[in-house]
């Protein structure tokens, strides 16, 4: 009996060591390359694989003790299946060499986007925001903000005082007939909601400055001038593409004739995130959106902004990278998988936003689903018996990934609920462990790609201490993204650079109001 237990223990130990070694290979080839940076991430993401391996060995020891002669073949079959699943998931592994190549290519695209002669051919456009001044804590007064970025939009009012920051907001719907109607109807609807909001908050008769967060592809030619490049997110309002959306809003306000509102600036949600975070932490120099979509904004030296033709002596400029389009020129093809290509093929913007499609919430669930579908059709999951929902496009939501990875090691409460919802009630615990493992592989790759992007920006700025403001559902709700990103960025940044990641509080709304506040403050200084 003691001999059997010892053999079982040795087998468990060797398999667990193998699991950790395998997981380290997913992080960079050799354990020694980055072991100091990935211990916590290994513990977090190897749980299901280690438990999965250990459970069969425990059963093996128990059944051997009972004299079973068939179990060894069964366990061998299960182990073979696990190894095949891991092999299929290796496509999501990026070595540190590959990650550093991603960084090099992104850096080159950033430089091209900033360059006057190369901007037109760059996939990462690095648009000027014309925001050169950051909040310094001296802004005072009431300011309005509009936040339009989807089927709902918000109106906000903030009150900045010596020792307080009060904010109130209200969400308004954008009906489908307005989303697909005329631009005039859209902006008239926004102006009407703005007027109602001002009445409710008893500022209807006041003259107020407004910041406008407009989270659609935008080419800015001034702080209050932004040309819509194309509609996304289900909008198709006529007469707006290639037009100035700030002017469209101003015209709608003027048509009413009853509002004293001055539009002081337009921005996107990434810029708003940076502005919101820097108000709380003066070291913030990067704003990241990691939600349904993804984007980045950072502070660049004005001398590197070749498209900026003014010479006002200000040393810095906020840059809207639009990094979601990184890879549109094929520069990420060397790490794309069959699942990435499938997602792109069936997207509404085929060949566009390649980087975004590997990291953002709109796509991560579908990448996982495609991998699970392949494993099922190979007979490696669910005994080869899938379900209509599993085989249906976009049925595996990204929130499922966060829920599944939130289960404690060895427990599958959320995973079981998700699989039952998908018509897979027959899933075994081994199936559930495999599903979690696939989720972990896809999540880890996404976190490492975002980390590569952030590290590229930090290295380019080369500031000794930087706070990175981040907003978005993926970062906010995924149980391991923060840890994975901290560990990987630490490994990728240059020596001497210290950073921290800060969760943004309502960047798109608060940030817009702060842009208006800063613009007013600067205007008052110049007037004085």
* Domain layout of the chain by residue ranges: 1-93, 137-280+511-527
Tell how strand 141-148 and strand 208-214 pair up.
parallel
Q: Could you please report the per-residue DSSP string of 267-329?
A: E-HHHHHHHHHHHH-TTEEEEEEESSSEEEEEEEEGGG-TT--------EEEEE--GGGTTTT
Q: Which of 56, 269, 431, 506 is catalytic?
A: 269
Determine which one of 233, 280, 374, 399 is catalytic: 233
Q: Is 121 a catalytic residue?
A: no
Q: In the structure, what pLDDT confidence band is assigned to residue 73 with cuts at 50, 70 and 90?
A: low
Highest average pLDDT, of 27-31, 132-136, 402-406, comes from 402-406
Pairing between strand 294-301 and 284-290? antiparallel
Average pLDDT over residues 207-223: 91
Q: Which CATH fold topology does 137-280+511-527 show?
A: Nucleotidyltransferase; domain 5 (3.30.420)
Query: Which pLDDT score is estimated for 161?
Result: 82
- How many CB atoms are located within 10 Å of the residue 276 CB? 28
3-state helix, strand, coil in the chain (%, to 5): 55, 15, 30
**Quick one: pLDDT at residue 51?**
40
Question: What average pLDDT score do residues 38-47 get?
Answer: 44
Q: Which two tokens mark 349?
A: 């913007």
Q: How confident is the model at residue 215 (pLDDT cuts 50, 70, 90)?
A: confident
pLDDT grade, residue 65 (50/70/90)? very low
Q: Is 269 a residue of the active site?
A: yes
Establish how many alpha carbons lie within 13 A of residue 58's alpha carbon, considering only the half-sphere containing its beta carbon.
7
Give the span between the Cα atoms of 294 and 447, in whole angstroms.
12
> Hey, is 132 helix, strand or coil?
coil
Instruction: Read off the pLDDT band of 1 (50, 70, 90).
Output: very low
Both tokens of 430, joined, read: 């081994």
More confident residue, 236 or 75: 236
pLDDT confidence of residue 27: 35
Query: Looking at residues 302-306, what average pLDDT do you find?
Result: 96
Strand partners, 298: 286, 319
Looking at residue 217, its pLDDT comes to 83
State the pLDDT at residue 211.
Answer: 96
pLDDT digits (tens, 9 = 90+) for 145-202: 999 987 889 999 999 887 777 899 999 999 999 999 999 999 999 999 999 999 999 9
- Tell whether the model's pLDDT for residue 505 goes beyond 90: no
Tell me what pLDDT residue 68 has: 54
Q: For residue 492, what are the CA distances in angstroms to 104, 116, 186, 462, 502?
A: 12, 29, 44, 13, 18
Give the distance, in angstroms, between the CA of residue 68 and the centroid of all CA atoms in the same chain: 50
Evaluate the CA torsion angle 439, 444, 445, 447 in order and state its sign.
positive
Kindly state the average pLDDT of the residues 94-100: 98
**What integer is the mean pLDDT of 241-261?**
95
The chain-wide mean pLDDT, for the chain, equals 87
* Distance from C-alpha of 287 to C-alpha of 483, rounded to nearest angstrom: 18
Query: Considering the chain, what percentage of its residues have pLDDT values greater than 70?
Result: 84
pLDDT in the model for residue 413 = 97
pLDDT, residue 136, reads 83
**What integer is the mean pLDDT of 217-231?**
90
Q: Residue 59: which residues within 8 A CB-CB, separation 6 or more?
A: 71, 75
Mean pLDDT on 11-15: 38
Q: Note the pTM of the prediction, 2 decimals.
A: 0.85
């Amino acid at each position: 009996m003691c001999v059997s237990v010892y053999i079982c223990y040795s087998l468990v130990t060797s398999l667990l060591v193998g699991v950790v070694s395998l997981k380290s290979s997913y992080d960079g080839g050799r354990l020694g390359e980055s072991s100091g940076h990935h211990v916590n991430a290994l513990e977090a993401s190897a749980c299901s694989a280690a438990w999965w391996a250990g459970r069969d060995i425990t059963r093996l020891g128990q059944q051997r003790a009972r004299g079973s002669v068939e179990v060894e073949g069964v366990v061998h079959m299960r182990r073979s299946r696990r190894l095949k699943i891991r092999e299929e998931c290796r496509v999501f592994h990026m070595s540190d060499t590959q990650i550093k190549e991603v960084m090099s290519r992104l850096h080159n695209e950033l430089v091209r986007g900033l360059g006057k002669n190369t901007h037109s051919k760059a996939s990462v456009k690095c648009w000027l925001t014309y925001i050169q001044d950051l909040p310094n804590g001296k802004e005072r007064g009431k300011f309005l903000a509009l936040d339009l970025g989807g089927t709902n939009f918000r109106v906000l009012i903030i009150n900045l005082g010596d020792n307080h920051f009060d904010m109130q907001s209200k969400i308004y719907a954008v009906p489908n007939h307005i989303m697909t109607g005329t631009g005039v109807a859209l902006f008239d609807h926004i102006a009407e909601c703005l007027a109602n909001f001002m009445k409710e908050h008893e500022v209807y008769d006041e003259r107020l400055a407004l910041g406008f967060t407009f989270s659609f592809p935008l080419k800015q030619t001034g702080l209050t001038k932004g040309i819509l490049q194309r509609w996304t997110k289900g909008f198709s309002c006529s007469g707006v593409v290639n037009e100035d959306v700030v002017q469209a809003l101003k015209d709608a306000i003027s048509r009413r004739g009853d509002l004293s509102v001055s539009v002081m600036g337009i921005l996107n949600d990434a810029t708003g995130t940076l502005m919101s975070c820097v108000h709380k932490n003066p070291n913030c120099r990067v704003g990241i959106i990691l939600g349904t979509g993804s984007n980045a904004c950072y502070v660049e030296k004005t001398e590197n902004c070749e498209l900026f033709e003014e010479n006002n002596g200000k040393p810095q400029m906020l840059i809207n990278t639009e990094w979601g389009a990184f890879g549109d020129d094929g520069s990420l093809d060397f790490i794309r998988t069959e699942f990435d290509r499938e997602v792109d093929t069936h997207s509404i913007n085929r060949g566009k936003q390649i980087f975004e499609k590997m990291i953002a919430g709109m796509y991560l669930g579908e990448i996982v689903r495609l991998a699970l579908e392949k494993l099922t059709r190979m007979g490696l999951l669910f005994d080869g018996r899938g379900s209509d929902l599993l085989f249906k496009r976009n049925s595996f939501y990204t929130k499922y990934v966060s829920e599944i990875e939130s289960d404690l090691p060895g427990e599958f409460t959320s995973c079981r609920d998700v699989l039952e919802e998908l018509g897979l009630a027959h899933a075994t615990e081994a199936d559930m462990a495999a599903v979690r493992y696939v989720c972990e592989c896809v999540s880890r790759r996404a976190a490492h790609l975002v980390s590569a992007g952030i590290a590229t920006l930090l290295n380019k700025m080369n500031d000794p201490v930087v706070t990175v403001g981040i907003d978005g559902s993926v970062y906010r709700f995924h149980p391991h993204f923060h840890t994975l990103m901290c560990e990987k960025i630490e490994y990728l940044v240059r020596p001497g650079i210290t950073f921290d990641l800060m969760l943004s509080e309502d960047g798109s709304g608060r940030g817009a109001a702060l842009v208006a506040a800063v613009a007013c403050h600067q205007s008052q200084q110049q007037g004085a």
